[in-house]
Every structure is written in structure tokens, then in C-alpha cells.
């Protein structure tokens, strides 16, 4: 039958058939599935920031990428996400930088004594200008991942306690403190006289209620999101021990699945939401302290003179800490200069 049709008609029929097949292939294409692992709960500022990122990404991706957030350590605790990213167990995560120090020591430099107790503007300025630019390419190489953009800054951290009020630095002496991962922050707590205990944040309520620890180092926002007053928290020592931040990482395995256009969409969604996310996270710290006060938690802020004295005392050991962490000497020199400015 087709052999009798004119050549022009055959060509038109072929083009139409190819168009139909092409259109069908596009309509049958499955969207990419992105799994995001977080070990904090839905009320936490990090989860809220990620939800907004996913919302904007969904609007721009127009069905090309389907994203699901697994919070509350449903998939992995933050300490395990770097390995999971390397092995393809998850597609995206935003671990605290303290969990990356074993691979990239400089990523944890915001915990060095030189940064202890500083004002937010100074601490965050150095994080953006010096720490992240140095650490990002090295984190990418070690985790087989891509850093999406600016880190999500949660804000300053404090020491919280159950039974013993911490009114001055010396009150921390002899206490059992849970600290986030990383030897630098453990060294800080030890310099204050505390014994450090490693407990995943998701297990902290049980550790507090059982007396495994007397207190812990965290942000007010994290305490509120986990309602840790139910575990007995009564006191906060607001010393800005370090400024917590999360590093947005997408595995190379997922990155390579995306087209150039899809990558631009993902990067753009993070770029266009991280500013508001930072603002909201920092504002949540102020709101968190109001909430803590409503639940009977007393907050004390040390004097500038006391913070400066303890920072100077801790600085006596910074050179040894840098050597133990095997941090790059040129980087640390630039870091010290940045803080000095």
C-alpha cells in the first residue's frame, strides 16, 4: 500500500510518525526522584529552609524532579550522610560542618578558639569570605558531591543544663556535656573543665532524662524544635560558643543524572531561597529564647570581658589544635587575619 503513495506523502507520514513517537517518549519520561536526608524534625529551621527550597524547586522544575524530605533521621544521622552521599544512599543532605572535619579539617575552623564568643556579624563574615570558599571544593572532592551554594547559618550556640545553673564560665567545670561532632568543640568544652560525651541529637532527650549528661552545647532553636524542656532543661549559658551552619550537598551521582537546565534550576532555587532562609533561621533564635523563657528556662549572657578572657585563654592551645587537626597553615594564617580585621 505504502509503495504506491507519492514520495512527498510518504515523507510527511514519516515526519508525523516520528513526531508522535518523540512526543510519546517525552510524556512517558519519569521524573528524577531526589531524596533529602535531615536528622532534625519538621519544626527545625533547617527543615523549614529545605521545605521552602523544595517548594521553589518544584515550581520551577515543572514535574521534572520529584523531591522528598526524610527528616528526624529517618534515613541517616548527620554523622553518616557523607558516606551515604558517596555511596548513593541519598541524593541530598545538609550536614552541620562539624561532621565534615574528619575529611576537611578547615570546614570546622569556625570552632577554633579565635572565633569563640564573637559577635554574629564578625563570625558570619569570616565564614562566607574565608571558610566556605576554602572548604567547598575540598568537601566536594571528599564526599563526591556538589555544594549548592551558601551554607545555611543557624546562629550562635550555647551551653544548656538540667540541674546546675551556669552563671559564669567557671560553673561548667566538672559537668558532663554533650557536644556536636568534632574535636575542636570538644577541646573548647574541655578547656572550660567539662567532660564531653558523644550522643546523637536525636538521642539527647533520653540521655538528659537518664542523667547520662548534665547538659549540652546547641542552639536555642534546636532546643525549642525538640522541646527539650520536657527532658528537664532549665538553664542556658548564651556564650556564642560557635556559630552553627549547614552545608548543602547533592551527590555527584544525582548531579550527573540532571541535564544542564535542571542543574541551573536546582542551583537557582537554592540561591533564591538561602537569603530568606538565613534571615528566618537567625530570627528563630530570638523567638526561641522567648519560647524557652515561657517554659521556665533561664538564660544568662556572659560579659564581653569574660568572653575575651576565655577566648585568649583558649587561644594558648590553638596552635596545637591546628597541628592535631592537620589544618593548612596558610589557611589558618588567612583565617586569623580575617578575624583580626
Instruction: State the sign of the Cα–Cα–Cα–Cα dihedral 288, 163, 176, 74.
Output: negative
The residues, any chain, with a CB within 8 Å of residue 18's CB and separated by 6 or more, are: none
Q: pLDDT digits over 100-114, tens only?
A: 999 999 999 999 999
**Tens-digit pLDDT profile for residues 180-216:** 877 899 999 999 999 999 888 889 999 999 999 999 9
Q: Residue 305 CB: number of other CB atoms within 10 A?
A: 8
Q: What is the per-residue pLDDT across 317-328, written as a single tens digit (0 to 9) for each?
A: 999 999 999 999
Q: How far apart are the first and last CA of the chain?
A: 84
Predicted TM-score (pTM) of this structure: 0.86
Q: Are 102 and 81 in contact (CB under 8 A)?
A: no
Report whether pLDDT(4) > 50.
no
Three cell numbers written together for 248: 548543602
What residue ranges define each of the domains in the chain, with the CATH number in brackets?
A: 30-340 (3.40.190.170)
Q: Is 168 helix (H, G, I), strand (E, B) or coil?
A: coil
Amino acid at each position: 500500500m505504502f509503495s504506491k503513495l507519492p514520495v512527498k506523502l510518504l515523507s510527511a507520514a514519516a515526519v508525523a510518525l516520528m513526531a508522535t513517537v518523540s512526543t510519546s517518549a517525552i510524556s512517558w519520561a519519569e521524573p528524577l526522584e531526589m531524596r533529602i536526608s535531615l536528622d532534625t524534625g519538621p519544626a527545625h529551621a533547617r527543615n523549614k529552609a529545605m521545605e521552602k527550597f523544595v517548594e521553589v524547586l518544584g515550581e520551577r522544575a515543572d514535574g521534572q524532579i520529584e523531591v522528598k524530605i526524610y527528616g528526624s533521621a529517618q534515613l541517616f544521622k548527620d554523622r553518616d550522610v557523607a558516606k551515604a552521599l558517596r555511596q548513593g544512599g541519598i541524593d541530598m543532605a545538609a550536614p552541620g560542618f562539624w561532621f565534615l572535619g574528619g575529611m576537611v579539617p578547615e570546614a570546622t575552623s569556625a570552632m577554633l578558639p579565635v572565633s569563640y564568643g564573637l559577635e554574629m556579624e564578625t563570625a558570619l563574615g569570616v565564614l562566607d569570605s574565608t571558610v566556605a570558599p576554602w572548604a567547598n571544593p575540598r568537601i566536594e572532592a571528599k564526599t563526591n558531591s556538589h555544594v549548592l551554594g551558601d551554607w545555611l547559618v543557624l546562629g550562635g550556640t550555647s551551653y544548656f543544663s538540667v540541674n546546675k545553673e551556669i552563671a559564669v564560665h567557671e560553673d561548667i567545670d566538672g559537668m558532663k556535656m554533650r557536644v556536636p561532632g568534632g574535636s575542636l568543640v570538644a577541646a573548647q568544652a574541655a578547656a572550660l573543665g567539662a567532660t564531653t560525651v558523644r550522643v546523637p541529637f536525636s538521642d539527647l532527650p533520653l540521655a538528659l532524662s537518664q542523667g547520662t549528661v548534665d547538659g549540652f552545647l546547641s542552639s536555642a532553636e534546636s532546643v525549642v524544635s525538640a522541646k527539650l524542656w520536657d527532658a528537664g532543661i532549665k538553664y542556658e549559658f548564651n556564650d556564642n560558643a560557635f556559630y552553627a551552619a549547614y552545608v548543602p550537598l547533592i551527590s555527584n551521582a544525582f548531579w550527573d543524572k540532571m541535564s544542564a537546565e535542571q542543574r541551573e534550576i536546582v542551583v537557582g532555587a537554592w540561591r533564591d531561597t538561602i537569603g530568606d532562609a538565613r534571615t528566618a533561621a537567625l530570627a528563630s533564635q530570638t523567638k526561641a529564647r522567648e519560647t524557652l523563657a515561657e517554659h521556665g528556662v533561664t538564660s544568662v549572657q556572659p560579659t564581653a570581658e569574660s568572653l575575651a578572657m576565655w577566648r585568649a585563654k583558649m587561644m594558648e592551645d590553638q596552635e596545637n589544635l591546628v597541628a592535631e587537626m592537620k589544618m593548612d597553615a596558610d589557611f589558618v594564617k588567612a583565617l586569623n587575619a580575617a578575624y583580626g580585621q
